[in-house]
Structure 1
Amino acid sequence: MKFPYGIANFEAVISEGYEYVDRTAFLPLLEDAGKQLLFLRPRRFGKSLLLSMLENYYDLNKASRFEEIFGKLAIGQNPTPLHNRYLVMKWDFSAVSPEGDANKITANLFDYLNGNIRKFSDDYKDLLPTPIIINTDNALASFQSLVAVVSQTPYKLYLLIDEYDNFANEIMVSQHYPSHDSRYAALLMGEGVLKSLFKNIKAAAAGQGVDRVFITGVAPIVMSDMSSGYNVATNIYLEERFNTLCGFTEGEISQFVQGVTQACQLPTPFADETLSLMRDFYNGYRFCPEPQQDGVYNPTLALYFLGHLQTGCAYPRRMLDSNLSMDRNKLSYIANLPGGDQLIMTALSQQGDIAIQELQDRFGVHDILQVKKDPDFMASLLYYFGVLTFRREANAFGESCLVVPNLVIRSLYAERLQALLVPQLDWHDHQAAVKSLLGHADIAPLCHLVESQYFPVFSKRDYRWLNELTIKAAFLTLLFEQATYIMDSEAEIGDGYADLTMLIRPDMRHFQQLQDILIEFKYVGLKELGMTAAELATPDQAALEALPPVASRLREGRERVLAYRDGLQSKYRQQLRLHSFVVCALGVERLVWWVV
């Protein structure tokens, strides 16, 4: 099987025999949805391949190859009347450098647009009655000339724009530019060049040669800033019928896994184990708020995994593809906003809903850089970035809830929260404490590390409340390790939800030193204890355990752990090397723990 990892050329995918998950059945739906469409998805989710498919389907120059390219696909059996009826122009704004001041970016954009207009002129020279005039100083004039020439033909233009918001995304995370907001304003506000470009597109689509426009991006930021400059696009990214337009379904992933495991001559149980592992790490994206919507897999991550599996008949050591590492910058931006660290802590621990009244879709770069952010704003932005997604069910109030989609994204949260809270964490102490727990089932060094390095940070930060969520977040950031473990927070076991489970990855179980871990967290505040922070500093573990509120919490945690332990052994039929603990925090001063 040839997996098209990193390949966004639809013609190459088909002609060179790569595996293609057929999305051509969506073409009639897209045609019916409107003539100017905006479709948003996170980075690396297959948007460019989608646009390449549209380009091949509608391009008049590809008419003679329709059967070759589409004959074996769904649309090839029942094509729409519009196939191969357009002159197609495709722009990819990710190819335009955002470096430099506004004048430099404008020059980069003009050079890029003029290059594409020249290519368009060459591609369709036999169909154009007069030459397109290329204005090297003003690509907007070049585009106007193109539209004027096309309007003299019996054909219409289909304009495809990929990564339309690339400038906004780059500027937002490029903190090394002190005036990044003014650079962007110069491009988009007033008569900025980007706004002027879209005003030209809007005018051309009003009966002046452009018949259809399809725009992809990550967030609605640029559309909001353009306001009346381009207010004619139909937003289809939240529509239920387009939930799986990009991304893989469970059934499609299952077919790939079956094919690879058969080629590797691996036993049938291995295929089931592989699908379960991929589901934990890569599935879970739901792009519409309708209940019971099935999740989809991130296609780049899935193809990364499948390529490794096919090459070596083994799982990749690292489950996170480095091509998604830029998402760290976006989490950093949210984490440094007022209340952002609390939002990330809640999302990481999966304790409590991130409920929103409505997904926000009207905010621009000025809002992102300057305006005070409320939780709905921050959660909505994380949704667009692909690090939060809709939960399957609404909450008891009928509100939409957002969750972290899978373990590979949760690892980004853990990494970012650790860098935020304890940037000076000693690597050697950290690794030694983690190895003591995972290799020897000794949790004491990790608890001492939390007391000495995390608690001083927590006690100085302005949190509205402290409870076991705070403590769990500290342990999650220290322990999150995707190369060896499947980690779960609030895992459903029987009638309850375990605070933290760390189960050895199936391909790592042959390392006998590794141990499976189950931890339940408890919290007792200083007011309930009737003690001050200073009074908690000196008693030993035994004295702290004997305090009535602490003893009560430890016993309660032990009962839960025993129930979860039995449930885990029943859920995972293999023999677990399971070690269980109850950890109770006394304010953010001390920790006591029981081995269960």
Structure 2
Amino acid sequence: MNSQLKPLPTGHSTLATLIDEGMVYIDKTPLVHRLTRYPGRFFLSRPRRFGKSLLVDTFQQLFEGNERLFRDLYIHDQWDWSRRHPVIKIDFAGAELRTPQALDEHVAYLLEENQERLGLDCGEYTSASSCLGRLIRHASEHFGEKVVVLVDEYDKPMLDNIENLEVAAEMRSGLKNLYSVLKAHDPYLQFVFLTGVTKFSKVSIFSGINQLQDISLNKSYATICGYTQQDLETSFGGHLAGVDWARLRRWYNGYRFLGEAVYNPFDILLFISNDRMYRNYWFETGSPAFLVKLFRQRRYFLPELESIEVGEEILDSFDIEHINPVTLLFQSGYLTIDSVRTRHEELKFRLVVPNQEVKTSLNKYFLDAYLAMPMDQRGRYQDQLYDTLIEADLPQLIATLKRLFAAIPWRNFTNNAMADFEGYYASVLFAFFESLNAQVIPEDITNQGQVDMTIELEGWIYVMEIKLLDSAAELVEGENPALEQIQARGYSEKYRGKASQGLFELGLVFGRAERNLIQADWLKIHEIEGVTAKLKTVRH
């Protein structure tokens, strides 16, 4: 790498380190200035590892008046450096707290740390909330300025325990008592800024007269965290010289918060650090295990993740007792906003998976949960499916699918009723085909309706319909209801002339009793000199 290039800020989230070490720094202070010009209380939701901690540290250094760190930044000439505000910082970003006692101990440690930094003492107190309240009042009186309170990852103690409802509820109660102090001491506060992943209700900070202003989906602050395309082409231009920009965008861009799309900083920094190797950097740092359990319990149709339309309320707050998986997927970064429209005077958001990294990883993770088979075994099925698709070997494709469903452990069916629904089989197939980096169009719309799935891979197109019967005893000799529906409604018509290698219609029929494929028929569409012909149905 060019020795003249600035060092990367990989693993660093303090402004002083980035500035003092001459690291690459994206100047976010134009947006910081917009937020801090007047007293305010704000909340920002962003996925993990998106740069929230660096933003919080930037606020701290600014209000504490560390002028030297801002000399080359936009805000330097806009700020009154003669005023210094006492800052109280509560940071849950690096903590993993599994019991209410651990939460109490960590909060006590944070309060002691703030007292030492400010040179103040809470004195005798009966609770963390009473200490925080005293600290706010004493700091304002001692320094003669209103107080700034910064909370990083305010919701992490709840999220870390979200699979254990009882513990999560106890964490919420403890945090509610702590955060309620902010409302009670509003006259002493200049600026309050909280970050987190989710917006939990019943935590006291999102209701009442002095509620926080949620800027998570404010277009003006869409890029306050994350890297824009311009950031990469300028500040990281030397590090990314000669990169395939289209491929980089497809892999790591696509996070939208009602404004310009941004990259996850974590991905970009590790991509550069690892010799530009395309890998699932962000996804591999945490897995949505709880989400997968929710999807299985609620028989969620996995292909719907490709295009979900929701109202504004589903992107807002929720209770830990009533978690909507789609809301959690959105707030955690596994879904993002693709477009917005108004219907019946209400906003409707179309959500999609943001990029290739998340799409591939999420489908592989769902496969692990849905199939419960070793990774090496799953990999063999992926290789076999890929080979049969690009070779148009339909008999082997069907044989592989039968072996695949036969390999799913019996407990996957007996512990839940998912296999009683057509969506389960479609979800498994969808996740497998998506994991091959094929272009998969679920519920593919035509002028005659919608076919369950269309797969495009290396010039081959497969138009696929899925049906579920109670058992093979319901099959009628010489008939395939799935293939017949494709033909009757002309689902493949729109792909005529668009498949460079070949076009197939494929009808798959599954049986509840057999828990497997019980009938498969296909047609290959031949187009010779403008004449379309279909091969005779092949039964398997």
- TM class by shorter chain equals 0.7 to 0.9
**C-alpha displacement of 1:46:** 0.8
Measure the CA separation in 1 of the matches of 2:166 and 2:491: 56
Q: Helix, strand or coil for the counterpart of 1:109?
A: helix
* Matched ranges for 1:181-260 at <5 A: 181-189=165-173, 193-205=174-186, 207=187, 209-221=188-200, 224=203, 232-255=211-234, 258-260=237-239
Matching residue of 1:534:
473
Q: Deviations over 1:497-555 (max 9, x none)?
A: 993344xxxxxxxxxxxxx354332216479xxx9733659x8xxx6789982783798
TM-score normalised per structure 1: 0.72
Matching residue of 1:168:
158
Q: 1:345 aligns with which of 293, 303, 315?
A: 303
Residues 257, 275 of structure 1: 8 Å contact kept: no
Matching residue of 1:510:
none
Q: Deviations over 1:202-233 (max 9, x none)?
A: 2222x2x3321111001111664666689521
Measure the CA separation in 1 of the matches of 2:272 and 2:462: 35
Matching residue of 1:277:
247
Residues 486, 505 of structure 2: 8 Å contact kept: no
Matched residues, number: 497
Q: Deviations over 1:460-485 (max 9, x none)?
A: 9558974xx8766433422444xxx7
Measure the CA separation in 2 of the matches of 1:437 and 1:257: 41
**C-alpha displacement of 1:338:** 1.6
1:44 maps to a residue whose letter is R
Measure the CA separation in 1 of the matches of 2:482 and 2:104: 68
Residues 40, 218 of structure 1: 8 Å contact kept: yes
2:498 maps to a residue whose letter is Y
Answering whether residue 50 of structure 2 is matched by residue 45 of structure 1, we say yes
Distance 1:385 1:488, change over 3 A: same
Matching residue of 1:331:
291
2:365 maps to a residue whose letter is R
Matching residue of 1:513:
none
Matching residue of 1:382:
329
Matching residue of 1:86:
85
Distance 1:106 1:257, change over 3 A: closer
Residues 581, 595 of structure 1: 8 Å contact kept: yes
Whichever structure has more helix as a proportion of its residues is: 1
Matching residue of 1:154:
144
Distance 1:38 1:548, change over 3 A: closer
Matching residue of 1:69:
69
**C-alpha displacement of 1:50:** 0.8
Measure the CA separation in 2 of the matches of 1:346 and 1:383: 14
Matching residue of 1:303:
269
Q: Helix, strand or coil for the counterpart of 1:296?
A: coil
Using the TM superposition, name which of 544-553 and 321-330 deviates more. 544-553
TM-score normalised per structure 2: 0.79
Query: RMSD of the TM alignment (CA)?
Result: 3.8
Distance 1:132 1:306, change over 3 A: same
Answering whether residue 316 of structure 2 is matched by residue 361 of structure 1, we say yes
Measure the CA separation in 2 of the matches of 1:83 and 1:446: 73
Unaligned runs of 5+ in 1: 122-130, 174-179, 263-269, 369-376, 503-515, 567-578
Measure the CA separation in 1 of the matches of 2:509 and 2:438: 26
Residues 89, 157 of structure 1: 8 Å contact kept: yes
Residues 419, 425 of structure 2: 8 Å contact kept: no
Q: Helix, strand or coil for the counterpart of 1:43?
A: coil
Measure the CA separation in 1 of the matches of 2:483 and 2:350: 37
Distance 1:120 1:283, change over 3 A: same
Residues 37, 236 of structure 1: 8 Å contact kept: yes
Measure the CA separation in 2 of the matches of 1:82 and 1:562: 68
Q: Deviations over 1:143-178 (max 9, x none)?
A: 3442343213322221111000011110114xxxxx
Measure the CA separation in 2 of the matches of 1:16 and 1:224: 39
Matching residue of 2:368:
419
**C-alpha displacement of 1:362:** 3.4
Matching residue of 1:507:
none
Answering whether residue 411 of structure 2 is matched by residue 475 of structure 1, we say no
Measure the CA separation in 1 of the matches of 2:418 and 2:390: 36
Q: Helix, strand or coil for the counterpart of 2:314?
A: coil
Q: 1:587 aligns with which of 477, 493, 509?
A: 509
Matching residue of 1:552:
487
Residues 25, 74 of structure 1: 8 Å contact kept: yes
Q: 1:523 aligns with which of 441, 465, 470?
A: 465
Matching residue of 2:534:
none
Measure the CA separation in 1 of the matches of 2:340 and 2:171: 41
Measure the CA separation in 2 of the matches of 1:438 and 1:524: 17
Residues 110, 136 of structure 1: 8 Å contact kept: no
Q: Deviations over 1:252-280 (max 9, x none)?
A: 23336642354xxxxxxx53xx2111211
Measure the CA separation in 2 of the matches of 1:20 and 1:8: 11
1:170 maps to a residue whose letter is D
Measure the CA separation in 1 of the matches of 2:269 and 2:433: 27
**C-alpha displacement of 1:198:** 1.4
Distance 1:118 1:16, change over 3 A: same
Answering whether residue 354 of structure 2 is matched by residue 405 of structure 1, we say yes
**C-alpha displacement of 1:305:** 1.5
Matching residue of 1:575:
none
Q: Helix, strand or coil for the counterpart of 1:592?
A: strand
1:21 maps to a residue whose letter is I
